[in-house]
Amino acid sequence: MVRILATSTLALMAAASAVSAQTEVHWWHAMGGENGAKLEEIVAGYNASQQEFTVVPTFKGTYPETMTAAIAAFRAGEQPAIVQVFEVGTGTMMAAKGATYPVYQLMADMGEPFDPAAFLPAVVGYYTDTEGNMLSMPFNSSTPILYYNKDVFEAAGLDPETPPKTWEELEQFSRQIIESGAAPCGFTTAWISWIHTENLSAWHNQPIGTLENGFGGLGAELSVNGPLQVRHWENLARWQDDGLFQYGGPGGGDDAPPKFYSQECAIYFNSSAGRAGVVANATAFEVGYGMLPYYADVEGAPQNSIIGGATLWVLQGKDEEVYRGVADFFTYLSSPEVQADWHQFSGYLPITQAAYDLSREQGFYEANPGTDISIQQITLNAPTENSKGLRFGSYVQIRDIIDEEFQALLAGDEDAQGALDAVVERGNTLLREFETTSGN
Amino acid sequence: MKRTVFGGRLLPWLLLAPQLLITMVFFLWPAGQAVRQSFLREDAFGLSTNFVGLANYRALFRSEEYLNSLQVTVVFSIAVAVLSMGLSLLLAVAADRVVRTARVYTTLLVWPYAVAPAVAGIMWWFIFNPTIGILPYLLNGVGYDWNHSLRPSDAMILVVVAASWKQISYNFLFFLAGLQAIPASLREAAAIDGAGPFKRFWTITFPLLAPTTFFLLVVNIVYTMFDTFGIIHATTEGGPNQATNILIYKVYEDGFLELDLGSSAAQSVILMALVITMTMIQFRWIERRVEY
């Protein structure tokens, strides 16, 4: 027994010394399933490409779980060098000035060549401060698009090659689908907050908050109770009553995908990164892709859609050697080859122009129709104050509030104006609290 | 009772030390941290900390969401206690009357207790799922449009059923033991005097079961308040519109998802006070019973 113990200790020590020759860079991420396997493949590619650093990826669960784990680890002094944080956590990370190491500063300090202009503006805009400095490293960004069932369209007497362009058309198409008996439901959706509130506003060039949607400072207030948002929520509630629309649940709307896959609903909104899931599950029918619809009478629509997904934040408190590794790894990660590979595999946006160009040269978009809808949509127009994204503290909670009030609306407890007024009121309370705790 | 007398003071302390250490590390220390945190307002990373006195508690009792959560918890606890205790009493009475295969029935009825809350939650989630579940499909057949992601009452029914189902086994065991402890001679005497089965149950069996019933009531309330986290998390996640957001789930949500540590800590301190009160009620009752 003692001997076994002694040998294993020796083995352990040997292993430890072999590792310590290379600097370890820990990366906590939230990519499960196939995307997680791809991520590990990318990391393995990096580790094999050089001798100096070893990146160690660790899967930490969902986005909120990963972020919470990293924050708890930071409080205990055990934080990883890199953590993947979803877009709504951006406000929280930005306000934690002593805890994060802004990417632009890291790259400059480590003498790593870095050109923010190489990234797609709609992606980087979300993650830069008011002076235009990039604070975190874009990794997986997506944007919502429309998926539709071509077979059902045909059965309903609609042109299977033409997705609805406007909400008016969407209503009319849905009605025709139901009345013709082609499908029992017109459309369903994931993400009421992200798609039918935030993106709806950006797509129509309307603000969802003051001070450039919160980019201008912690004093921002929500303003999602404008006429456009009220009109859209009112329509969704009415469409639900008419049976045109079926609710897919709060947050990411887990009930929505099965409704589309089982051909119950003919049209479905979800992230462009949901494409792999759609392709894998929609085997019994042909899928078409389209941009988000807009209200034709709203001036300036369609503008451009905004992104979701996550970026990589660097946490403070590590040795310089580790940060050199982080900088080197980020350069590898944003190289056109790695990015194009990741983009084509996962359905996330290519974060750099070069990766987009490379994918086009490789003929990816021709071979996989619908994959470039997301890129066309975020680059449709130059982002305005209302369409470069949003930045509010406590936004994870505000998203929950949006879901809750939307449920109250669908349950008939409130009208659209009342529900959105409540979102603004409850959200602003959280924003003021966030301002007091973080604004020092 | 045999008393063991220790010679010195050192040995008893030494023997108690492991247990005391565990209590200290896993209960007293975190509990103390929670109390401390509940008086602070802190950002998520712990970069700035302010002492705010009782502000977190005051904010809670002014918060509509918290009062709603309190109300939801009361409704949920009572519903689960009534449903699970009622059903298990019925099953226990039935099993008590079966002479030959009582053991088989008992084993079968105890099974659900071995299922982890999260697994039970997932199972009920599948059964009740509006899109792929079997129950909404059947209900649709009789004209009821089940949707627990929108209708608060449906969501509440779902979590009550899921939580009760798990607790029935436990209650059943205690009721069965309680029933078997009642001397058959009492019931036989009543039967000879002409009392029917219902009369016998309500005037003899039920009153004699009262200590068991009371004990189970406390246990069930503690169970619904603290051990149903997994069920809520796997099914409704507190929704729709906070309709099933019980106190313990709110602690998790505010603390771990929303990183509002001060408020979350204040909520756990309140829960701690609640569980201490309940345990005291239970202990006092047990003491009384021992004297009796």
Return the HEC string of B180-234.
HHCCHHHHHHHHHCCCCHHHHHHHHHHHHHHHHHHHHHHHHHHHHHHCCHHHHHH
Q: Which domains does chain A have, with CATH numbers?
A: 2-142+307-367 (3.40.190.10), 144-305+393-438 (3.40.190.10)
Closest-CA residue of chain B to A91: B44
**At residue B214, does pLDDT exceed 60?**
yes
Higher pLDDT pick, B130 / A10: B130
Closest-CA residue of chain A to B51: A437
B211 touching A (Cβ < 8 Å) = no
Closest-CA residue of chain B to A89: B258
A141: part of which helix (H) or strand (E)? strand A137-142
**At residue B6, does pLDDT exceed 70?**
no
Residue that the structure tokens 């008393």 belong to:
B3
Tell me the mean pLDDT in the region B79-101. Answer: 87
Question: To the nearest whole angstrom, how far is the Cα of A276 from the nearest Cα of chain B?
Answer: 21
Higher pLDDT pick, B7 / B193: B193
Q: Which residues of chain A have pLDDT under 70?
A: 1-21, 439-440
- Which sign, positive or negative, has the C-alpha torsion B50, B54, B56, B58? negative
B239 touching A (Cβ < 8 Å) = yes
Chain A, 374-413: which have a CB under 8 Å from a chain B CB? 394, 396-397, 400, 403-405, 407-408, 410-411, 413
d(CA B67, CA B69): 5
A429 touching B (Cβ < 8 Å) = no
Does B43 sit within 8 Å of A438, measured CB to CB? yes
Measure CB to CB from residue A99 to each of B47, B149, B241 and give the nearest one: B47
Q: Residue A208's CB: how many other CB atoms inside 10 A?
A: 27
Q: Which domains does chain B have, with CATH numbers?
A: 57-291 (1.10.3720.10)
d(CA A239, CA A404): 19
Whether the upstream peptide bond of residue B240 has omega within 30° of 0, thus cis, is yes
Q: In 3D, which of A196, A186, A185 has the Cα closest to residue A144?
A: A196
B137 touching A (Cβ < 8 Å) = no
Does B237 sit within 8 Å of A96, measured CB to CB? no
Provide the percentage of residues in chain B whose pLDDT is more than 70.
95
B196 pLDDT tier (thresholds 50, 70, 90)? confident
Closest-CA residue of chain B to A437: B43
C-alpha distance from residue B84 to each of B20, B103, B172 (Å)? 36, 21, 9
Closest-CA residue of chain B to A440: B48
B81 pLDDT tier (thresholds 50, 70, 90)? very high
- Enumerate the residues of chain B whose CB falls inside 8 A of the CB of residue A66: none
Residue that the structure tokens 């990816």 belong to:
A364
Q: In 3D, which of A3, A401, A106, A413 has the Cα closest to residue A237?
A: A413
Span B134-158, pLDDT tens digits: 988 898 888 888 888 888 899 999 9
Say what the pLDDT of residue B3 is: 66
A73 touching B (Cβ < 8 Å) = no
Mean pLDDT estimate for chain B: 86
Q: Count H helices, E strands: chain A?
A: 21, 10
Size of interface A-B (CB pairs under 8 A): 76
Does B257 sit within 8 Å of A64, measured CB to CB? yes
Name which of B131, B232, B235 to mutate to probe chain A: the one with the most chain A Cβ atoms within 10 A of its Cβ: B131
Tell me the mean pLDDT in the region B20-27. Answer: 92
Amino acid identity of A304?
N
Q: Does the model's ipTM exceed the 0.90 cut?
A: no
Look up the pTM and report it: 0.81
Collapsing DSSP to helix, strand or coil, B237 comes out as coil
